[in-house]
Amino acid sequence: MVQRSLVSVVDDDESVRESLPDLLRQFGFAAQAFSSAEAFLASEFVSQTNCLILDIAMVGMSGPDLQQELTRRQQAIPIVFITAHGDTTVRPRLLALGATECLFKPFSDDALLEALTQALGTRSTCEP
Amino acid sequence: MLQIFTQGIASGEPYDFEARLRRFDGAYRWFQVRGLPLRDVGGAILRWYTLLTDIDERRRAEDALRHSEASLRAIVETTPECVHVIARDGTLLSVNAAGAEMAGAPSVDLMLGRNFYDFVTPEDRERYRAFNESICAGQKGFLEFDIVRMDGARRHLETRAAPLRTDDGTVVQLGIARDITARKQAEARLRESERRLRELTETIPVMLWSATPDGAIDYCNGRFLEYTGLDAEQLMGRGAFTKVLHPDDLDRTVQAWLSCIRTGAAFQAEVRKFHAADTAYRWCMVNARPLLDEHGRILKWYGTVVDMHDWRQAQEELRHTQEKLAYMMRVTTMGELTASIAHEVNQPLSGIMTNAGTCLRMLAADPPDVAGASETVRRTIRDAHRASEVIVRLRALFSGKELTTESMDLNEATLEVIALSMDELQRHRVMLRPELAGDLPLVTANRVQLQQVILNLLRNAADAMAGVDDGPRQLLIRTERDEGDRVRLTVQDVGVGLEPHVVDKVFQAFYTTKSSGMGIGLSVSRSIIEKHGGRLWGEPNDGPGATFAFSIPRDPARTTDAVAV
């Protein structure tokens, strides 16, 4: 059996943590959800994560903070940012800092799949 | 007389003398008496021939002449004007005492024989020489010129002169000069004063005019003429002013002016006045005041006209700008609110879409995962409810509808907020010290809204202390009874503090001192507290940090008066 890619979700919104992993599994990924950046960093999944779906605005450490921290730790994990703030100016900034994509909530499952495919590149094992 | 006569007889010499002889009528008259001896061959006097000539008339004429010359001399010597005789080459032949004084000479003798040209200033000297020579050539003349006195002072003289023929046949100048320095200076001062006044009235960037007591214009300065493009004659006289007024301003202006002429009250009017340069009417301010005599009668009206068109337009533009700004503020407020609402609604919408997408995929699988699909549908419904709740909350907040209030314990509500934010406060290394009054009465209020306000105050305080690294980040939250049957909640931090000039601004929407945050927290908080009939305020501490507090009545319904205020 092929090892499925692990997609980790970090979002302080509970409904996201509930719904996204199910969709990710439908896509064929393994999924883990965390309520904060700190919780993710403290977990054993950092090094196993193939792609990170990361909320921008969180209490405490924000999404971009985590991105910086991972860069500092030289953990090159592709990141797909998600945000409920409609500020479109953040997207180019985040992409310039190395993010794969930045999706504005609400986003469609197809848009998410496309972003993930791009993030994981040819290593994708996403077809269900 | 007899002696001359006797000597003559004795010596035999001829004699000649004048003497008074008595006439037949007893009157003495002057005679010339001449005697010649007649001698024989031997030289002996044979007899005397005596010729008596009546010279009385001549003697009288001579006396009269002598007397007349003395009077003339007295006149010349006492006249305050300089009387002088100057030769063709400029030599001063004669001068009176006044002349010496005019030239600053201690005596007449010191002047005589000097060349008068030396007294004349170098710049006038050639002119004077020509003048003198023309007089000596037989012309009468008049000349103004300057001299330098012997004491160095400069004086301005005018002289009238006529040719005078002397005994030896030469012609000299007889001149009468007068010192007109004072008059010249007065004239110069007057001219200078007039010039200055004219300069002032012609260069001042204001239109000036004057009018007779009955209101007829009798003077307009150049600026006035230039502005209106009319000449002085067109603007003079009664009612001429109306020519340059906008027809719509005519009636009221004339009425006001006539009333001022009657009463002597100062005149002021804003009128549109014809401006020649752009053939348009421009707004002007016209002012006039009467000059009164000692009896209070009007002697003259003096007035100004100031073009205030640009100023007035700037005012209008400013007003428009302010209106635009106010509109922009409202639009911005709407925009920011929309963003805030969008965030609140996007969260559940996002859940709905994700769940719906998952559901479809589960159902499309072979075999379909019906149990999983049911779960996602249940979550979809829950998220839809959540979105709907957001809308309900927003409507309650912004619609101005009646609040749903309950009797509640402010201490309890505060403790709940503290419990909710404890994690965050600890993360911010904030040391929270609650001082909750034990005897706090219940208040009638909307619990959730009051908690929003408390949460906002706590978060602001924590944010304000984010940069405090040299001491504990102390945060005091206190509840207490307030006067007037009210309760008060105070939040005090040791953070960046509050500049006096921003005390009011922090309550305005979208004013923020933070790098993140929209700046609507305090604005919304204040509107919530005001809906409760209360007051929310902030002030800098004596030491570091700021204090924010609200005070609300125990029961807003019973203190509607306070709310109205």
Strand order in the sheet with B15-22: B15-22, B28-39, B45-54
- Look-up: residue for tokens 């379909």? B368
Please classify residue B257 by burial: count the beta carbons closer than 10 Å to its beta carbon, then call 0-12 exposed, 13-18 middle and 19+ buried.
buried
Taking an 8 Å cut-off on Cβ atoms, the answer to whether A105 and B355 are in contact is no
* CA–CA distance, B99 with B107 (Å, rounded to integer): 10
Is the model's pLDDT at B13 over the cut of 70? yes
What integer pLDDT is reported at residue B560 of this predicted model?
45
Higher-confidence residue: B341 or A108?
Answer: A108
Is the model's pLDDT at B302 over the cut of 90? yes
Higher-confidence residue: B34 or B402?
Answer: B34
Please classify residue B500 by burial: count the beta carbons closer than 10 Å to its beta carbon, then call 0-12 exposed, 13-18 middle and 19+ buried.
exposed
Averaged confidence pLDDT in chain B = 85
pLDDT in tens, B529-550: 888 889 999 988 888 899 999 9
What integer pLDDT is reported at residue B514 of this predicted model?
53
Taking an 8 Å cut-off on Cβ atoms, the answer to whether B353 and A86 are in contact is no
What integer pLDDT is reported at residue B558 of this predicted model?
61
* CA–CA distance, A82 with A66 (Å, rounded to integer): 13
CA dihedral B120, B122, B123, B128 (to 10 degrees): 40
Is the model's pLDDT at B392 over the cut of 70? yes
pLDDT in tens, A7-27: 999 998 888 998 999 999 999
pLDDT in tens, B32-51: 888 888 888 888 888 888 88
* CA–CA distance, B284 with B303 (Å, rounded to integer): 13
Is the model's pLDDT at B2 over the cut of 80? no
pLDDT in tens, A114-126: 999 999 984 444 4
Contacting residues of A for B349, CB less than 8 Å apart = 105-106
| Interface predicted TM-score (ipTM) | 0.84
Backbone φ and ψ of B487, nearest 5°: -120, 150
* CA–CA distance, B479 with B339 (Å, rounded to integer): 34
Q: Are B372 and A22 in contact (CB under 8 A)?
A: yes
Strand ranges for B55-121 from DSSP E: 82-86, 92-95
Q: Are A10 and A54 in contact (CB under 8 A)?
A: yes
Contacting residues of B for A108, CB less than 8 Å apart = 353, 357
> Which of B347, B380, B425 is the mutation pick for testing A, counting most A CBs within 10 A?
B347
Q: Which two tokens stand for residue B1?
A: 């007389």
Please classify residue B102 by burial: count the beta carbons closer than 10 Å to its beta carbon, then call 0-12 exposed, 13-18 middle and 19+ buried.
buried
What integer pLDDT is reported at residue B506 of this predicted model?
73
Q: Are B534 and B486 in contact (CB under 8 A)?
A: yes
Is the model's pLDDT at B510 over the cut of 60? no
Contacting residues of B for A116, CB less than 8 Å apart = none
What integer pLDDT is reported at residue B484 of this predicted model?
84
Taking an 8 Å cut-off on Cβ atoms, the answer to whether A86 and B346 are in contact is yes
Higher-confidence residue: B125 or B326?
Answer: B125
Contacting residues of B for A104, CB less than 8 Å apart = 346
Strand ranges for B230-385 from DSSP E: 267-275, 280-292, 298-307
Residues of chain A whose beta carbon is less than 8 angstroms from a beta carbon of chain B are 13, 15-16, 18-20, 22-23, 26, 59-60, 82, 84-87, 104-110, 112, 128
Is the model's pLDDT at B52 over the cut of 90? no
What integer pLDDT is reported at residue A33 of this predicted model?
96
Q: What is the DSSP letter of B27?
A: -
What integer pLDDT is reported at residue B507 of this predicted model?
73
Q: Is the dihedral of CA B289, B294, B297, B300 positive or negative?
A: negative
What integer pLDDT is reported at residue B335 of this predicted model?
65
For A107, nearest residue in chain B (alpha carbons): B350
Highest mean pLDDT of the ranges B11-20, B279-288, B331-340 = B279-288
Backbone φ and ψ of B103, nearest 5°: -90, 0
pLDDT in tens, B450-505: 888 898 898 889 888 988 888 889 999 999 999 888 999 999 999 888 877 777 76
What integer pLDDT is reported at residue A1 of this predicted model?
45
From the list A16, A22, A112, the residue facing B372 with the nearest CB is A22
For A11, nearest residue in chain B (alpha carbons): B347
Q: Are B38 and B48 in contact (CB under 8 A)?
A: yes
From the list B349, B375, B376, the residue facing A106 with the nearest CB is B349
Is the model's pLDDT at B144 over the cut of 90? yes
Please classify residue B290 by burial: count the beta carbons closer than 10 Å to its beta carbon, then call 0-12 exposed, 13-18 middle and 19+ buried.
buried
For A22, nearest residue in chain B (alpha carbons): B358
Q: Determine which of B325-334, B418-427, B514-523 has the lowest per-residue pLDDT on average.
A: B514-523
- Look-up: residue for tokens 């909530």? A105
What integer pLDDT is reported at residue A67 of this predicted model?
93
B392 Rama class: left (phi>0) / alpha (psi -120 to 50) / beta: alpha
What integer pLDDT is reported at residue B27 of this predicted model?
86
Taking an 8 Å cut-off on Cβ atoms, the answer to whether A84 and B350 are in contact is yes
Is the model's pLDDT at B326 over the cut of 70? no
Query: CA of B496, closest CA in chain A: separation in Å?
Result: 20
Averaged confidence pLDDT in chain A = 87
Confidence category of residue B175, pLDDT binned at 50, 70, 90: very high
B365 touches chain A (CB under 8 A): yes
What integer pLDDT is reported at residue A44 of this predicted model?
93
Determine the average pLDDT of the residues in B323-348.
Answer: 70
Tell me how far the alpha carbon of residue A91 is from its chain's centroid. Answer: 14
* CA–CA distance, B64 with B60 (Å, rounded to integer): 6
Contacting residues of B for A22, CB less than 8 Å apart = 355, 358, 372, 375-376
Q: Which two tokens stand for residue B21?
A: 């002889």
What integer pLDDT is reported at residue B562 of this predicted model?
40
* CA–CA distance, B216 with B231 (Å, rounded to integer): 16
Taking an 8 Å cut-off on Cβ atoms, the answer to whether A19 and B351 are in contact is yes
* CA–CA distance, B158 with B544 (Å, rounded to integer): 88
What integer pLDDT is reported at residue B501 of this predicted model?
73
For A87, nearest residue in chain B (alpha carbons): B339
Taking an 8 Å cut-off on Cβ atoms, the answer to whether B365 and A128 are in contact is yes
Taking an 8 Å cut-off on Cβ atoms, the answer to whether B347 and A60 are in contact is no
What integer pLDDT is reported at residue A123 of this predicted model?
47
Q: For B407, what's the count of Cα atoms within 13 Å in the CB-facing half-sphere?
A: 3
Residues in CB range of A84: below 8 A, 6 or more apart: A13, A57, A104, A105, B342, B343, B346, B347, B350
Distances (CA, A) of B245 to B228, B276, B280: 10, 12, 11
Contacting residues of A for B458, CB less than 8 Å apart = none
Confidence category of residue B406, pLDDT binned at 50, 70, 90: confident
Is the model's pLDDT at A66 over the cut of 50? yes
Number of A/B CB contacts below 8 angstroms equals 81
Confidence category of residue B399, pLDDT binned at 50, 70, 90: low
pLDDT in tens, B232-290: 888 887 777 788 899 999 999 999 999 999 999 999 999 998 998 888 999 999 999 99
Contacting residues of B for A82, CB less than 8 Å apart = 350
DSSP H helices, chain A, are 14-27, 37-42, 63-72, 90-96, 109-120
* CA–CA distance, A40 with A38 (Å, rounded to integer): 5
Strand ranges for B27-78 from DSSP E: 28-39, 45-54
Strands B280-292 and B267-275 come out as antiparallel
Residues in CB range of B522: below 8 A, 6 or more apart: B456, B460, B506, B507, B536, B538, B548
pLDDT in tens, A37-65: 999 999 999 999 999 999 998 877 889 99
Strand order in the sheet with B154-165: B92-95, B82-86, B171-179, B154-165, B141-148
What integer pLDDT is reported at residue B48 of this predicted model?
84
What integer pLDDT is reported at residue A124 of this predicted model?
41
Taking an 8 Å cut-off on Cβ atoms, the answer to whether A86 and B339 are in contact is yes
Q: Which two tokens stand for residue B450?
A: 């009051």
Highest mean pLDDT of the ranges B31-35, B187-191, B199-203, B469-473 = B187-191
Distances (CA, A) of B381 to A15, A23, A69, B358, B361: 12, 17, 37, 14, 18
Q: Tell me what percent of the residues of chain B surpass a pLDDT of 90.
A: 38
Contacting residues of A for B372, CB less than 8 Å apart = 22
